[in-house]
Structure 1
Amino acid sequence: MNRKVVLGIGAVVLVGAGIGAYMHSGSVEAKNEHTSVALITDAAGIDDKSFQQSAWQGLTKWAKANDVKEGKGGYTYFQAKTSADFETNINQAVSNGYKNIYGIGFPKTPSINAAAKKYPKNNFMIIDDVAKTRKNVVSVTFHSEQSSYLAGVAAAETTKTNKLGFVGGMKSAVVDTFEAGFIAGAKSVNPDIQVDVQYVGDFADAGKAKTIAASMYQNGTDIIYQAAGGAGTGVFTEAKDLNEKQTKADKVWVIGVDIDQSADGEYKATDGASNFTLTSATKGVGTVVTDVTKMADENKFPGGKHLVYGLDDKGVAVTRGNMSDKAWSAVEAAKKQILSGDVKVPVK
């Protein structure tokens, strides 16, 4: 994956686990000649079926390729209970000897900014935000508005009710790009289409996301794009509950985010097995973690830089999923327009 590098912009952030939070230490202390890495996650953890899971998969991919073991001296993750744990978890990671500390998600930026200054000999990475410029911090962002635009095109080409939904996690500049891109893509197909936008308030409350989805579907929305991290599992749960009570032809849809969430859409309708994941707007978080760790291991950590990934280098994309041929053709055409510069996707 090629990277666009913007110099002078650092990266910083970690999700941590404070007092009473969970620290995954592995079975034994690792003994190896490679660098060490600690991934800091929020309450949703590495099994959120989204952003943080992708990051963990990228880290384990690098570890397996280099025979690096889980545990002190190798790699691990720290899981926070609340945002109050972030800074404490970063401190724990450093005190346990981890050289590279990765924060996944913008809520950890303030804690990473502080840690990067406090621990100049450690390397830090923040994904989905831009931290204060420091030689020991790299920032990574994605053109999520581009993949979200394509998701909007797919939804508008598929809906039967002309009512779409967007469920975001925490209202922020980052999630704004998902919302703006999705609405722009949908309205490029049908300017009169309706998009109901609601936010969970965090990235972990799947119960609240399920309640929001239930209200949307009840009001006629038949496709929901969820950009809510671990909370997004609640949207899938609600769609499954509804779809199992009706025929395949009457299904409501969900659009996945960050990773291919097609498996989460499997269900059994009244007339047989089916799948309700229309498509997934993916981002290469796992690839970023693999790439940056490889650079750090080779003493080439890209500190002080801002790495930007988009459609042009396959940093973001949409899966074929369950799109019709017509919808897929429209998505492919829209992708070409974005890459050529004919379409400028808004970010807010």
Structure 2
Amino acid sequence: MSRPEPRAEPAAPAGPVRAAGGRGRAEPGPLARRPGPLWSLGLFRSELSVTFRRLRTLVLLAVLAGIPPLIGIAVRAETGDGGTAGGGGGEGPAFIGQITHNGLFLVFAALAATLPFFLPMTVGVVAGDSIAGEAGAGTLRYLLVAPAGRSRLLLAKFTAVLAFCLAATLTVALSALATGALLFPLGEVTLLSGTAVPLHEGLSRALAIAVAVAASLAGLAALGLFVSTLTDSGVAAMAATVGLLIAVQIVGAIPQLDAVHPYLFTHHWMSFADLLRDPVHWDGLLGNLALQGVYAAVFGSAAWARFTGRDMTV
């Protein structure tokens, strides 16, 4: 795993420092820097730059971009020039049955294929390394020199991880769209409810689905951020986050544990298919957003409590 990008140590606050009452206690002078706002666009841009300039991040995005062509080539090889792949309208792998009729369905099939593991694995790696990687490299303490820096830094890192969720999802969608346009015809889209819509509306629904899939990863992003505050080892944090993901997937696949399935952050992941119905079925989509919001609030608060109370010695 690559080490985090080196950061310059922040300069000391400008302005004089004077003693108070002759007792030796220093107080900031009139030019001293005061605590900044909780949200800082400059800090967010810095976190985005660090996240997307890492070789590991670029490799993960490249792997995601390579999955849709593999699916498209496999479907093309199976169907030949005029055949039809098996399957029909429905969720998950059943989208493959529609790809030969309309290449836009490769977007839906690729997202359905990558969402159970590949997409969340990349998010788990990035989120798990967000704090622990900086601590292990010794660069985290320099970021905390700024006044009120911990809450602001944590918020910037979480937002950067969410931006990666969207970037990873769009990478899969755009790669699938390009592959589908090259290998299969594009045209009017027949929705799962049987309604035919123009191509431009199908593209709009594909974009909405990509955003919905990215939002589905918010709970995992918060969980990974919390795990990242528990250790100074980026590798350990990444492994623990991915391990938790696998454990949740296993629990979700055991019928005898169906009582806890609605509380797992993976439970509504495939609800994005409801955006391909007319009218749209909102129950699953809204339930997914609510569940991801609960996970983000719970584990985001736990990460804040751990990070702001942590004795940073590295």
The two structures share one fold, judged by TM-score above 0.5: no
Bigger strand share: 1
Give 1 or 2 for the bigger CA radius of gyration.
2
TM-score by length of 2: 0.31
Bigger helix share: 2
